[in-house]
Structure 1
Amino acid sequence: MRRPLASLLALPFLAAATIPSTPDLGKAEGKCRADESGPSFMVSVAGLKDRAGNLKLEVYPSNDKDFLADDNILISEGKTFRRVEVATPSSGTPVLCIRVPAPGTYGVMLLHDRDSNRKFGWRVDGLGFAGNPKLGWSKPKATRASARAGAGPTPITIVLNYAHGLAMRPLKKPD
């Protein structure tokens, strides 16, 4: 009797493990409509190193267990995950809009994927979070990398950090 019960309990984990990974997960839910009026973040990107590659903005639950967790697992568990990916514009301050399911607090991560390989390379790419926490050798706590979305578009600014020696930090501003 115990084996069938154990097998049934394992089904959600097996299902999560078999969901194919795709870079399009969360994009339909994250895409803002023209003149977005619902809960969303309007993210101004500060501190771009250059205009290469793509900008990828992602929204996660604002707790340490789920923040930056695998998108397949979050979606299979019915948790919040949103993604917007755009080519880095050739000029101006990039502003990305990403929808969220409801007003509330969410973890927000921005990747400047300079080599367009869809994954973070710490020596090449830039990285930033809502709240602009100082980055160390591990991911920031969800509460330090989160922002509160209101009932409509909520403006936030994320400052990108790039590798400098063994540290990740914002680019030094010219004097």
Structure 2
Amino acid sequence: MPLVVLVATPAAAQPVLGKDAEACARGEPSIRVTATGLRDRTGRMKLELFPASAEDFLKDDTLLKREGKLFRRVWARTPREGPVSICIRVPARGRYAILVTHDRDGRNKFNFFQDGAGFPTNRRIGRSWPLLSDGEVNVGGGVTMVTLRMQYLRGVSGFAPLDTLN
């Protein structure tokens, strides 16, 4: 009988958070985001899925739903240690836009002075409004992996990763 050895990749070994974790585990069309550079381990993480259009990116979810457009949200408690990897199921292959936020105070309202945000491009946001191109992700037939660095308000220079200077 041949010996079979299974080796887990580091990404596969990470616990996946959120209500859609099974979609990633089954290899369904989904996006698995690993967020790095968190300020701390308080509050919750939120991963949101938007249509990949400039008009709809970061639009209020109530308006998107009212217009019959795609919008999904997955919440997960920020783990006390280890990687922060969240999965969100997508309806089919295609192009989407995502936003990850670190809701540090747990109030479900973005607090510019406390909360963090992350986008797939990892472009320093500064004081500008994020562009659609910052959030775009192309999803194939399986799990699309994205690693992003969270950004927090850094004085007058605006939002930036914590490992950069003002």
Q: Shorter-chain TM-score: which interval?
A: 0.7 to 0.9
Paired residues of 1:133 and 1:145 also in contact (CA < 8 A): no
Does the alignment pair 1:172 with 2:160? no
Instruction: Tell me how far apart the structure 2 counterparts of residues 163 and 36 of structure 1 sit (CA, whole Å).
Output: 37
Select which of 5, 8, 20 maps to 1:31. 20
Task: Please list, as runs of the form range in 1=range in 2, the aligned pairs for 1:1-175 lying within 5 A after superposition.
Answer: 31-33=20-22, 35-166=25-156, 167-172=158-163
Instruction: Tell me how far apart the structure 2 counterparts of residues 156 and 164 of structure 1 sit (CA, whole Å).
Output: 24
Instruction: Tell me how far apart the structure 2 counterparts of residues 43 and 99 of structure 1 sit (CA, whole Å).
Output: 11
Normalised TM-score (structure 1): 0.77
Runs (4+) off by over 3 Å: none
Deviation at 1:140, TM superposition (A): 1.5
Equivalent residue number for residue 16 of structure 2: none
Gaps of 5+ in 2: 1-18
- 1:94-116: CA deviation from partner (whole Å, max 9, x where unpaired): 10000111111111100000000
What one-letter code is carried by the residue in structure 1 that aligns with 2:150?
L
Deviation at 1:139, TM superposition (A): 2.2
Gaps of 5+ in 1: 1-29
Paired residues of 2:21 and 2:86 also in contact (CA < 8 A): no
Deviation at 1:32, TM superposition (A): 4.0
Q: Which has the higher helix share?
A: 1
Instruction: Tell me how far apart the structure 2 counterparts of residues 72 and 32 of structure 1 sit (CA, whole Å).
Output: 24
Normalised TM-score (structure 2): 0.81
May I ask how many residue pairs the two structures share in their alignment? 145
Q: CA RMSD in A?
A: 1.7
Paired residues of 2:30 and 2:88 also in contact (CA < 8 A): yes
- 1:33-85: CA deviation from partner (whole Å, max 9, x where unpaired): 26232110010011011000000010101111100111111122221111100
Deviation at 1:90, TM superposition (A): 0.6
